[in-house]
Chain A
Amino acid sequence: MPDITSVINTLDERRPYIELKQANKSGELACDNTSIAGSMSQRACVYSGARVALNPVTDAIHLVHGPIGCASYTWDIRGSLSSDKETFRTSFSTDMKELDVVFGGEKKLSKSIDELVELYNPPVIFVYSTCIVGIIGDDLEAICKEATERVGIPVLPVQSEGFKGTKSDGYKAACHALMQLIGTKEPEIISEYRINILGDYNVAGDVWLVKPLFEKMGIQVITSMTGDATADSISKAHGAQLNLVQCSGSMTYLAKWMKKEFGIPFTKVSYFGIEDLAIALRSTAEFFGSEEMMNIAEEIIEQETNRIMPEIQEIRSRLEGKTAAIYMGGAAKALTLIKGFRELGMEVVIIGTQTGKRDDYKQISYQVKDGTVIVDDANPLELADLLVNQKADLMVAGVKERFLAYKLGVSFCDFNHDRTIEFEGYDGFLNFARELDTSVNSPVWRYVGSKIEDSYSGSSGAEQTTDSTAKAGTIKKIEGESNMQEISPITFQQEPVA
């Protein structure tokens, strides 16, 4: 196997971040660093990390202290759903202008807080700081403390100046804000078994497919953080006996704190895919040591698996042998996706994350087969080269990667925060399988790269004629390289478009 660095062309400084998994070679992937200037990282900033982790708190006011852009681009950015209030879908900003930058934005922020309390009467306000606040030195901490006393609700600072670290630091800032709430109210206890679901953002209603499974097992779910969480439910989170952490990148920090502060242990789980779901249910039942609960868990696992299996099998027959590229924000999702793809008969050939840590990559490396490329903080050109070289049939990532894959004729599945279909739980996995099926098996791909002449040439089976060498500045999809997207000549009679 050639070393990956000779397979794809990238900046010298980026080479340690890309690795080809090989049996007798275990290099350590570089990761967890700030992005290289001009490398076109797919990452966002500290503020974005804080915002995505906290934003789903449904009844909170999320006030962005800074110029308008930061609030504009994050307005209703997550597909998180709420079972009650929708305050979180509104974008609030102090909209700092030049004068505020020169004279400081503290006064405006205080007045803005007062105004919002009066108009919306929220149970909590999260105040996010942006780049500029860190430079002009507004004392967010002090203003929020004063405001809390003045207005009588928690006004919590989220120290998320964009440049002060990476997206992961933003997660921490979000966790710090949550810490201020947890333990401030007494939970109503209705079961002797109680958990919190951490690191689930209820995107497209994911939590709603998971929570009932635990409730069937007799477990009280005190809160889910932060998907469909309310200020009230978060403040009672200390009433749980176990924290289940899914998105480990964002919520392990909080789980560790809750362990230290309240003695609540945590387990890392995933609700995606048949195997991981079963593990999540079983390990929870095991934790509580109740035989009855374990029996119910087994019953759920059997029933639900049997229920979705016929369709999964049918879809699997169409996906079998296809190759997948994974590029995710966090490592937890990437890891669970490897298993999910395996359950659908697909093989992962590229896997990368924006915020993975050393241990995450070790686990990833353990899970994937030789010849898989592992990449940290990838950029579009690297991803494009990898998609072509690794012959990926499908990519699972977010919006920025979607159109890149499309241009290369690679099918795509959106597994980011703006998807509208649930992927968790049993029905969620079915949705995921259907989504892959829809994209991979669509007839549109055969037209990518085709020409009018091909339609009339009638030269059956002849490969489409393209330049044999890639033009400068373009990444050429090498013809016939993938088992699904062979560019076959189009004949109108032969292939009616569905």
Chain B
Amino acid sequence: MSERNYTTVNPCIMCQPIGSVMAFKGIEDSMVLLHGSQGCSTYMRLHLAHHFREPVDIGSSSLSEKGAVYGGSENLKKGLKNIILRYNPKVIGVSTTCLAETIGDDISRIISEFREEEGVGDERIIIPVPTPSYEDSHNSGYIKAVEAIVKTFTLDDSKKAIFNNKLNVVLSENISPEDTRELKHLFDSIVGQNSYILLPDISETFDAPMTGDLHKIPPGGTTHADIADMKNSAATIGLGITNDNKAVNYLKQTFDIPSQNLPLPIGLEYTDRVLAALSNISGAEIPDEFQKERGRLIDAMVDSHKYVYGTKVAIYGDPNNVLGMLSLVLENGMHPILVVASSKSPRFAEQAMERVKQVKPDCDVTILEDVDFDTFNDAVKKAKPQMLIGNSNGKYIAKEMNIPLIRFGFPIHDRVGAQRLLTLGYKGAMRMLDRITNTILEVEDTELAAKWSEPESYVPLGESSFHSAEA
């Protein structure tokens, strides 16, 4: 609209608790309970169900006025008890909301009391994460929850277990279930099937096969044994380079596990970088399969290069996903005129700029972060991209500007298949490039069809012509 100082118009971010939910949903046999009023859990269930098209159960302590005044301890304990009675999860994440944080409930104390009063043993793992909405975003909620999960599971260091020679792989941003499956395939093939621990893993939990059964808690997710074993690993890879991956730092500081943060493997070069690192760490050759896949990607890039070259695109969404997409777009000769991250992160702008300089230094690009859609829309109007790449919320401006939107990221509420979107690896890059190219061709078809007529300057042979037969 124009300069605003006090109002956020059409938010790009969601709140911290939903990020924590996405992390907990990637843990085997787990449930999340939001300590707050009933609406928070319901809204997030709706938001996630819309995107993943799966049933999403998130508990609530259903705080009422009484709880808000006298403390939410009673509600939280009852909530925990009922979740155990009904779902019997081994792990319960307790994420706080604004309400719980503001009334100042001491969650850890309430959980200890609950354990004692109800005789809940150590085999039931309860993980508190402070995630008020007035701090940061869904992205930070994700990182915080992953850290809390790792800390809780590796807490018992009374005796250091045996070195497992495994590789920890810790995500710092949500990716699709399909991307998670592709990632696992990459690691399976290069590092070996039981030689790495991926956290979190939503490949099954948010994209469960239809069997006719309804699971109270969908099977899948990183196993508890694996998470507990992370402290015995040989090395850690953090996926995502714009944010501080707190779990990676924790593992390094507490257990001396060497670590390396790598970008999400989106596009050719970032995938190369991740694969090379894996090969380096594991000492294994990169299997022929990936050399071939890489070759096919380059083939695809060559096939597409004339169609996509110079196309001005705006990319928006969560920082690491956007950074990866920026890289892919640059490699293909497109012009990323506007690059926007939903939330603030310490290294997004710097990394994005560096990538631009590496591939197309003369490219004029606007990089924004931590803005709302209103600001983004203004920037789009100014930059006039020919295409948008990002989540569903760009549909309004895409419609207004009459430009195509390639849906990618979270949330995607107005199309099917968000859970199956593949972006990672060479395969994901091919998929993405094909979508981009075909979208451009589609637009060109329509535009060309309109143009396919004789130029106006052309005068047909007619009666006035000197050599007209009838003259």
Q: Give chain A residues whose Cβ lies under 8 Å from the Cβ of B387.
A: none
Say yes or no: A73 contacts B46, CB within 8 Å.
Answer: yes
**Contact yes or no, B214 A407, CB < 8 A:** yes
Chain A 25-41: CB-based contact to B (< 8 A → 1; otherwise 0): 00000000011111111
Given contact pairs A90-B10, A132-B102, A69 touches B15 in the complex (Cβ within 8 A):
yes
Residues from chain B with a CB closer than 8 A to the CB of A47 are 39
- Per the bound structure, the CA–CA distance linking A71 and B210 in Å amounts to 33
In Å, the complex CA distance between A70 and B59 comes to 18
Q: Does B57 contact A (CB under 8 A)?
A: yes
Known: A45-B37, A75-B11, A96-B134. 4 other contacts (CB 8 A): A41-B42, A68-B14, A71-B11, A112-B7
Q: Quick check: is B116 within 8 A (CB to CB) of the other chain? A: no
B383-397 interface bits toward A, Cβ cutoff 8 Å, 1 = contact, 0 = none: 000000000010010
Interface string of A66-80 (1 = CB under 8 A from B): 111111111100000
A134 to B64, CA, bound (A): 12
A250 on the B face (CB < 8 A): no
Chain A contributes a number of interface residues (CB within 8 A of B) equal to 82
A230 → B minimal CB distance (Å): 20
How distant is the Cα of A10 from the Cα of B85 in the complex, in angstroms?
9
- Report Cα–Cα, A467/B55, bound state, in Å: 23
Contact residues in B for A403 (Cβ distance below 8 Å): 49, 53-56
The minimal Cβ–Cβ distance linking B422 to chain A, given in whole angstroms, is 22
Residues on the A chain within 8 Å of B6, using CB: 94, 108, 111-112, 115
Contacts of B8 in A (CB 8 A): 68, 71, 92-95
Indicate whether B240 reaches chain A with its CB closer than 8 angstroms. no
Judge whether A142 is part of the interface by a CB distance below 8 angstroms: no
B375 part of interface (Cβ distance < 8 Å): no
Known: A96-B134, A384-B214. A40 touches B59 (CB 8 A): yes
Of the residues B44, B86, B88, contact of A38 by C-beta under 8 Å: B86
By the criterion CB–CB under 8 Å, are A399 and B49 in contact? yes
Measured in the bound complex, the distance between the Cα atoms of B5 and A220 in whole Å is 43
A97: Cβ under 8 A from any B Cβ: yes
A-B CB proximity, top 3 nearest = A449-B212, A45-B39, A69-B15
Residue of B nearest to A71 (CB): B11
Q: Which of A96, A97, A115, A448 touches B210 (beta carbons < 8 Å)?
A: A448
Task: List the A residue with the shortest CB-CB distance to B213.
Answer: A474
Q: Residue B215 at the A interface, CB < 8 A?
A: yes
User: Chain B, 1-40, contact with A by CB distance < 8 Å: what is the 0/1 string?
Assistant: 1101111111101110110000000000000010011111
Q: Which residues on A sit within 8 Å (CB–CB) of B39?
A: 44-48, 70, 162
A37 to B38, CA, bound (A): 8
Cβ of B58: which chain A residues have Cβ within 8 Å of it? 40
In angstroms, how far is the closest chain A Cβ from the Cβ of B29?
9
A residues near B135, Cβ cutoff 8 Å = 97-98
Q: What 1/0 mask marks residues of chain B from 457 to 470 whose CB sits below 8 Å from any chain A CB?
A: 00000000000000
A384 to B2, CA, bound (A): 49
CA–CA, A404 to B46, complex, Å? 12
Smallest CB-CB separation from A471: which chain B residue? B213
Query: Do A381 and B78 form a contact, CB below 8 Å, given A72-B13, A91-B11, A162-B40?
Result: no
**CB neighbours of A119 from chain B (8 A):** 1-2, 4
Complex-state Cα separation, A91 to B9, whole angstroms: 6
Tell me how far the C-beta of B40 lies from the nearest C-beta in chain A, rounded to whole angstroms. Answer: 7
Are B57 and A40 in contact, CB atoms less than 8 angstroms apart?
yes
Q: Is B264 an interface residue (CB 8 A)?
A: no
Q: Which residues of A contact B11 (CB under 8 A)?
A: 68, 71-72, 75, 91, 93, 95
Question: In the bound complex, what is the Cα–Cα distance between A354 and B80 (angstroms)?
Answer: 22
The reply on A380 being an interface residue by CB < 8 A is: yes
Nearest B residue (CB) for A91: B10
Whether, in the assembled complex, A456 has its beta carbon less than 8 Å from a beta carbon of chain B, the answer is no
- Check B37 against A162 for contact (C-beta < 8 Å): yes
Q: Which of A92, A98, A116, A134 has the most CB of B within 10 A?
A: A92
Question: B residues 59-83 with Cβ under 8 Å of A?
Answer: 59-65, 67-68, 75-76, 78-83
In the bound complex, what is the Cα–Cα distance between A116 and B36 (angstroms)?
30
A338 to chain B, nearest CB (A): 25
| 8 Å CB contact of A11 from B50, B85, B215, B396 | B85
Chain B residue contacts of A36, Cβ below 8 A:
62, 78, 82
- Contact residue among A67, A75, A400, A408 (Cβ-Cβ distance under 8 Å from B214): A408
B437 within 8 A of A: no
Residues on B with C-beta less than 8 A from A402 are 49
> Which residues of A in the span 44-88 have a Cβ within 8 Å of any Cβ on B?
44-48, 63, 66-75
Question: What is the number of contacts between chain A and chain B, taking CB atoms within 8 Å?
Answer: 250
Which residues of chain A are within 8 angstroms of B83 by Cβ–Cβ distance? 38, 40
Report whether A466 and B43 are in contact in the complex, using a CB–CB cutoff of 8 Å. Answer: no
Once the chains bind, are A45 and B215 in contact (CB under 8 Å)?
A: no
**What B residues does A74 contact at CB under 8 A?**
43
Q: Which of A46, A69, A116 contacts B17 (CB 8 A)?
A: A69
CA–CA, A41 and B59, complex, Å: 8
A475 near B78 with CB under 8 A, answer no
Cα distance A460–B65 in the bound complex, in angstroms: 61
Could you tell me the distance in whole angstroms from the C-beta of B75 to the nearest C-beta in chain A? 5
What would 25 A/B residue contacts be, using CB atoms closer than 8 Å? A37-B60, A37-B79, A41-B38, A46-B37, A69-B17, A69-B133, A72-B11, A93-B9, A116-B7, A119-B2, A131-B36, A131-B97, A131-B102, A134-B68, A162-B36, A163-B64, A380-B57, A381-B216, A384-B214, A400-B55, A403-B54, A404-B214, A407-B214, A448-B212, A474-B214
- Give the distance in Å from the alpha carbon of A389 to the alpha carbon of B211 in the complex: 18
Assuming the A-B contacts A90-B9, A163-B37, are A67 and B15 also in contact, with contact meaning beta carbons closer than 8 angstroms in the complex? yes
**Does the CB pair B55–A404 fall under 8 Å?**
yes
- Residue in A135, A163, A381 with the greatest tally of chain B CB atoms within 10 Å: A163
Q: A22 within 8 Å of B by Cβ?
A: no
Residues of A within 8 A of B4 (CB): 115, 119
Q: Determine the residue in chain B with the shortest Cβ distance to A466.
A: B212
| A476 at interface, CB cutoff 8 A | yes
B217 within 8 A of A: yes
- A164 CB within 8 Å of chain B: yes
Q: Across the interface, do B55 and A163 meet the contact criterion of CB distance under 8 Å? A: no
Q: Does A431 contact B (CB under 8 A)?
A: no
Alpha-carbon separation in the docked complex, A47 to B47 (Å): 16
B38-A162 in contact (CB<8A): yes
A135 and chain B: residue at smallest CB distance: B102
Chain B residues, Cβ within 8 Å of A96: 134
Q: Which residues of A contact B65 (CB under 8 A)?
A: 163-165
How distant is A216 from chain B, measured CB to nearest CB, in Å? 34
Q: How far is the CA of A448 from the CA of B213 in the complex (A)?
A: 9
| B98 contacts the other chain (CB 8 A) | yes
> Across the interface, which residues of A come within 8 angstroms of B267, CB to CB?
none
Q: Confirm or deny: B45 has a beta carbon within 8 angstroms of a beta carbon on chain A.
A: yes
Cβ of B99 within 8 Å of any chain A Cβ, yes or no, is yes
Is A239 in the interface zone, CB < 8 Å from B? no
- Residues of chain B within 8 A of A473, CB atoms compared: 87-88, 215-217
Is B93 on the interface with A (CB-CB < 8 A)?
Answer: no
Across the interface, name the chain A residue whose C-beta is closest to B69.
A135
Cα A112 to Cα B9 with chains together (Å): 11
Residues of A within 8 A of B133 (CB): 66-70
* Bound CA span A134–B49, Å: 29
In Å, the complex CA distance between A157 and B135 comes to: 25
Question: By the criterion CB–CB under 8 Å, are A37 and B82 in contact?
Answer: yes
Q: Chain A contacts of B46 at CB under 8 A?
A: 73, 399-400
Question: For residue A74, which residue of chain B has the nearest CB?
Answer: B43
Q: State whether the Cβ of B428 lies closer than 8 Å to any Cβ in chain A.
A: no
- Contacts A132-B99, A162-B40; is A409 near B212 (CB within 8 Å)? yes
Determine whether B103 belongs to the interface, using a CB cutoff of 8 Å to chain A.
yes
Contact bitstring A1-13, B, C-beta under 8 A = 1, else 0: 0000000001100
Interface residue B221 (Cβ < 8 Å from any Cβ of A)? no
Chain B residues within an 8 Å CB radius of A166: 38
Q: In the complex, which residues of chain B have a beta carbon less than 8 angstroms from the beta carbon of A211?
A: none
